[in-house]
Amino acid sequence: MTGTLEGKVALVSGSGRGIGRSIALKLAREGARLVINDLDQGPADETIALIREMGGEAVACVGNVTHTDFAERFVGTAVQEFRGLDIIINNAGYTWDNVIQKMTDEQWHAILDCHLTAPFRLLRAAQPVIKALSKAEMQAGRRAMRKVVNISSVAGLFGNAGQSNYSAAKAGITGLTTTLAKEWGRLNVNVNCVAFGLIKTRLTHSTANGETANIGGRDIKVGVNPGLMAAMEQAIPLGRAGTPDEAAGAVYLFCQPESDYISGQTLMCTGGLTGI
């Protein structure tokens, strides 16, 4: 395969399904070699099979991103399997909603651990690898740009009732983004953020189905009330929710060479929605 990311090595957390899978497939189509992550082996293997069908390369690193040993395993898989690390996408996530007076400490910490602490740990684990690679390239008289794309949400920019935990975590990831852009600029790393609006995934399907997801041993209800979904789509200037492939396209904008002088930015991928 050939493309704008030929030979690059990419980590995409939460890439066994949904938006993460679409991101991984998009990067693979452009030539990147992928380390795929999911909570479960099955979805990770499905994404890997799709990548290999198109002639790409991918391996799995299965596990919960909130586990304390995960970040080192994820980075280590890239180095061991592909001898490099060029792109990091912090995508894994879910929601566990409640109004603040009913939200437990467990709910609060679970969402912050997933959406903010896990990305922090991954970037911390990646820094020595990126520094060593960057130093070697600079000593050889070459400049190779690397990319970090953190995933935020309009909830992190504008808040959302019933999501104090999620909104706080997603606001935090934008702060982490701007800080790392300053710390890692000298290493030739672009650090940016994409804030999604309403994207249709299994986490935003109708609650009428009563679907749950088992995350960390907890059965979490997923989905959106059908009436609320219709109202949300009406508020979007484009008149509809986005697709995972459209979400992936926004992430790819920050991964391609044309973004080599863009860093510390948050891009809203919302169909024109500018608040919630």
Residue 163, SS3 per DSSP: strand
pLDDT of residue 94: 94
Which of 260, 242, 153 shows the shortest CA–CA distance to 201?
242
Range of lowest pLDDT (54-63, 112-121, 166-175, 208-217): 208-217
Question: How far is it, in rounded angstroms, from Cα 158 to Cα 84?
Answer: 37
Residues of 106-132 as b/e, b for ≥16 C-beta within 10 angstroms?
ebbebbbbbbbbbbebbbebbbeebee
Q: What is the CA radius of gyration of the chain?
A: 18
Which of 4, 11, 182 shows the shortest CA–CA distance to 87?
11
Domain presence at residue 177: yes
Domain presence at residue 265: yes
Q: For 23-33, write each residue's pLDDT tens digit.
A: 999 999 999 99
Number of compact structural domains in the chain = 1
Give catalytic status of residue 166 as yes or no: yes
Q: For 244-274, write each residue's pLDDT tens digit.
A: 999 999 999 999 999 999 999 999 999 999 8
* Both tokens assigned to 216: 């960390």
Q: In the chain, which ranges are E strands?
A: 9-12, 33-36, 58-60, 87-90, 146-153, 189-196, 212-215, 218-221, 266-269
Question: How far is it, in rounded angstroms, from Cα 89 to Cα 72?
Answer: 15
Residue 25: which CATH number?
3.40.50.720
Domain presence at residue 222: no
In the predicted structure, residue 15 carries a pLDDT above the cut 60: yes
Strand partners, 17: none
Domain presence at residue 274: no
**8 A C-beta contact, residue 93 and residue 70:** no
pLDDT of residue 85: 98
Q: At 181, is the pLDDT very low, low, confident or very high (cuts 50, 70, 90)?
A: very high
In the predicted structure, residue 212 carries a pLDDT above the cut 90: no
Domain presence at residue 81: yes
In the predicted structure, residue 170 carries a pLDDT above the cut 60: yes
Residue 241, SS3 per DSSP: coil
Residue 150 has phi, psi (to 5 degrees) of -95, 145
Summary mean pLDDT of the chain = 94
Which of 91, 92, 88, 194 shows the shortest CA–CA distance to 146?
88
Q: Is the dihedral of CA 84, 85, 87, 88 positive or negative?
A: positive
Q: At 217, is the pLDDT very low, low, confident or very high (cuts 50, 70, 90)?
A: confident
Which of 44, 257, 70, 266 shows the shortest CA–CA distance to 151?
266
pLDDT of residue 225: 64
Q: Which domain holds residue 135?
A: 9-197+251-269
Range of lowest pLDDT (49-58, 119-128, 162-171, 218-227): 218-227
Q: At 205, is the pLDDT very low, low, confident or very high (cuts 50, 70, 90)?
A: low
**8 A C-beta contact, residue 39 and residue 62:** yes
Q: For 123-148, write each residue's pLDDT tens digit.
A: 999 999 999 999 999 999 999 999 99
Domain presence at residue 220: no
Domain presence at residue 14: yes
Domain presence at residue 213: no
Question: How far is it, in rounded angstroms, from Cα 13 to Cα 38?
Answer: 7
